Amino acid sequence: MKMQQILQFLIYFIFVGPCGGKTTGQARLSTFFESLGWKVYRAPETALVLMSGGVKFTNLSKLEAYKFQENLIRTMKQIEDTYFELANTCPQNCLVICDRGIMDASAYLPTEDWEQMKADNNWNEIQLRDNRYNQVIHMVSAARGAEMFYTVAGHQTRHESINQAIELDQITAGAWVGHPYYDVIDNTTGFEGKVMRMISAVCNRLGIDTGDRLSTNSKKRKFLVTGVLDWTIFPPHQKFMVTHDYLVTPSRKMQARIRKRGQNGQWTYTHTIRRPEINEESVELRMAINSRDYEILLAQRDYRHYSIYKKRTCFLWNNHYFHLDEYEDPCPPGCKGLILLETYTTLEGDDLKVPDFLQIEQEVTGNSKYSMFNLSIKEEMDRTKSDASIDSRDV
């Protein structure tokens, strides 16, 4: 994967659409760009913040609904502007991800109320829609084309039926029509392909050549490494410290883990839940969380598994994006001195050229012995419980 030199690029990025994968998509997009050395800011969903305080939109009077939407937009603008100002002073490449955008709020108002609100506040729709955000990504609801995956279980404020979700998805999508950089990511592929197409759309907007890493038919290839032959010719890279912990789950077929990842004392935190397969596809939800949530979840760790500590080196070589993971102490017995190289590619066999500055012993793609889940299992745990252990894409 070849990346052009960019001194600074700010992109205000929107996810819209109920149950379309935006929560997992944001976490995956953040990890991908952080691995490239970018600074990523994530503006939270303002409606979720306000409505989680006890507001039920369907119980509001017409006037209350009008004032609520007006104040929601004002709050959204202030929250976004806070992140935009931080981005403008950032000395490195910077990505700002906005969970929903101002035009989403307009979709929940009658046309005449929206026109009145714009006049009352001196708002200009061109500025709010076309000029405020560099790119809009619409993650189409699972209710449209992936109905079996549609659910509102565990969501604090969403209660829509499939038909209601379809209607909201269409209304919200329509609110952004006219934006010069509007990408619709539908459900014509599996969920994994959907996420990869979304990341690819952002990379295309930024002019980043990703090679075949984000191709929907690419797969993870993993290699056992015994050492680095020559650090002096190692390409430009980013180093991170990574900690993984597996959590207790109510079902043997469900897998949950938390990750702490950072450099120079700055950390990001991720919570991943993998549910049982539906139609031969694993359903995985990946969420960015804060340090407080991380500490709370850490209390739920599964003591049948070791904590996993890794030093991760991310680098580009020969148009491919690689992770070099060096397992660190304290670590399980099977991880002593273990170094694994991973990449995603459509290339098969020897068509993939691996870095010549690494001493590679063998390819271990698909070998469950080297899955992180299996490596973390303590000896007294029945290792047959690891059927769903193969790690998913970690972009």
* Per-domain residue ranges of the chain: 11-206, 219-376
The residues, any chain, with a CB within 8 Å of residue 38's CB and separated by 6 or more, are: 92, 93, 94, 95
In CATH, what is the architecture of 219-376? Answer: Beta Barrel (2.40)
Helix axes 191-206, 22-35, angle to 10 degrees: 50
pLDDT tens string, the chain, 395 residues long: the values are: 333 333 334 455 554 445 657 788 888 999 999 988 899 999 988 988 898 889 888 889 999 999 999 999 999 999 999 999 998 888 888 999 998 889 888 888 899 999 999 999 999 888 888 788 888 888 887 767 655 655 544 444 455 567 777 878 778 878 888 777 888 888 878 888 888 888 988 888 887 877 777 776 778 899 999 998 888 888 888 888 999 999 999 887 789 999 998 888 888 888 988 876 554 555 667 777 889 999 999 999 999 999 999 999 888 788 678 889 999 998 888 899 999 999 988 788 999 999 999 999 999 999 999 999 999 999 755 444 444 444 544 54
Residue 80 near residue 72 (C-beta atoms within 8 A): no
Q: Which of these CATH numbers, 3.40.50.2300, 3.40.50.300, 3.40.50.620, 3.40.50.800, describes 11-206? A: 3.40.50.300
Q: How far apart, in whole angstroms, are the C-alpha atoms of residue 259 and residue 271?
A: 7
Residue 193 near residue 282 (C-beta atoms within 8 A): no
pTM above 0.75, yes or no: no
pLDDT (0 to 100) of residue 280: 52
Evaluate whether 11-206 and 219-376 have a shared fold.
no
pLDDT (0 to 100) of residue 339: 96
Number of residues that make up the chain = 395
Q: How far apart, in whole angstroms, are the C-alpha atoms of residue 305 and residue 256?
A: 12
pLDDT (0 to 100) of residue 121: 96
pLDDT (0 to 100) of residue 1: 37
**Secondary structure class of 242 (helix, strand, coil):** strand
